[in-house]
Amino acid sequence: MINILFTANSQRWAQYEKPLRHALDDTGLPYVLSQKFTDPETVDYLIYAPKGSVSDFTPFIRAKAVLGLWAGVEAVVDNETLTIPLTRMVDHGLSQGMVEWVTGHVLRHHLGMDRHISGQDGQWRDYIPPLARDRHVTVLGLGALGGACARALAALNFNVTGWSRSRKTISGINCLSGGAGLDQALVSAEILVLLLPLTPATENLLNNARLSKMPRGGVIINPGRGALIDDDALLACLDNGHLNHATLDVFRTEPLPENHPFWAHNKVTVTPHIASETRPDTASQVIADNISRSEKGLALRYLVDRNAGY
């Protein structure tokens, strides 16, 4: 019997229990799925989300893997008690949700929709945007989510540049890497999309010096991680007119405090971490597939590189 511990909170359990059981049933494996086991030494797999029931993995001496429900793993990757394999969530539902949110907001800013939506004041605004082929969009981060968004934007005929820490090759995307590549990616970024993981190397990546490399009037869209951007530097670039707008879905503190200057700034759009949510149906299939692979002696998918932090 395979014992599987679901460590996320009770609200997540209510969302995930049924689809997880369906997905696990489809594997044909004998299993017990529960929020609690009397003896942690009997647990084979842990399904993990931050702020759940487990932060010390030491008692789980039989466990073969910790299977994360989220794409981001910064809350657990440095946990010294976690010595067994850790996987992150990569599933088509998560990717599709992110693609829809990112392309929607890129098109919003590309077309200048805000000036018409908020400008119903009798003024005839005859702004005509360039065609997508003449708009330069840069995506920082070319992992599963960033790569999917870059491809979708290229399919809409945007001129897309992508940057990643390690060299990537994606058809139709100008792929850059390294420090010089980052500068080059920013210089052309009329619209900048952030989909990097949060690591010590990427925290405050967009400081004043790097934000200033963007073209005047540029737009930032951040559905990645809040700490990728220096908040004060971003506000300064918005206030001095170098940047035209920032659409932010993620923040250093969530929910975003009521007194945070982002709320009242006329060049900032705040969305409440909704760019993409892990979907229970598709995520459950990924979890079940990885457990099945492990039980067959196959390599786990989406293993986290502890040294890289993602």
Please check whether residues 105 and 206 belong to one and the same domain.
Answer: yes
Q: Is the pLDDT of residue 254 over 80?
A: yes
Q: What is the pLDDT of residues 45-85, one digit of tens each?
A: 999 999 999 999 999 999 999 999 999 999 999 999 999 99
Structural domain span for residue 56: 2-91+278-295
3-state secondary structure of 69: coil
In this prediction, residue 6 has a pLDDT band, given cuts at 50, 70 and 90, of: very high
Q: Are 164 and 143 in contact (CB under 8 A)?
A: yes
Cβ-based neighbours of 189, under 8 Å, separated by 6 or more: 136, 137, 138, 161, 214, 215, 218
Question: Which CATH number do you get for residue 170?
Answer: 3.40.50.720
The strand ranges marked E within 209-266 are: 218-222, 243-248
Please check whether residues 188 and 253 belong to one and the same domain.
Answer: yes
Please check whether residues 155 and 249 belong to one and the same domain.
Answer: yes
Mean pLDDT of 208-232: 98
Instruction: Look at residue 305 and tell me if it is in a domain.
Output: no
Please check whether residues 151 and 63 belong to one and the same domain.
Answer: no
Residues 109, 110, 225, 279: which is the catalytic one?
Answer: 225
Instruction: Look at residue 101 and tell me if it is in a domain.
Output: yes
Instruction: Look at residue 282 and tell me if it is in a domain.
Output: yes
pLDDT of residue 125: 79
Instruction: Look at residue 304 and tell me if it is in a domain.
Output: no
Mean pLDDT of 278-291: 96
Residues 273, 279, 293, 306: which is the catalytic one?
Answer: 273
The reply to whether 273 belongs to the active site is: yes
Please check whether residues 224 and 285 belong to one and the same domain.
Answer: no
Q: Is the pLDDT of residue 115 over 90?
A: no
Instruction: Look at residue 244 and tell me if it is in a domain.
Output: yes
pLDDT of residue 308: 87
Q: Is the dihedral of CA 6, 15, 282, 68 positive or negative?
A: negative
Q: What is the pLDDT of residues 180-189, one digit of tens each?
A: 999 999 999 9
Whole-structure pTM value: 0.90
Instruction: Look at residue 189 and tell me if it is in a domain.
Output: yes
- Total domain count, the chain: 2
The reply to whether 210 belongs to the active site is: no
Please check whether residues 115 and 218 belong to one and the same domain.
Answer: yes
Q: What is the pLDDT of residues 146-181, one digit of tens each?
A: 999 999 999 999 999 999 998 999 999 999 999 999
Q: Is the pLDDT of residue 119 over 80?
A: no
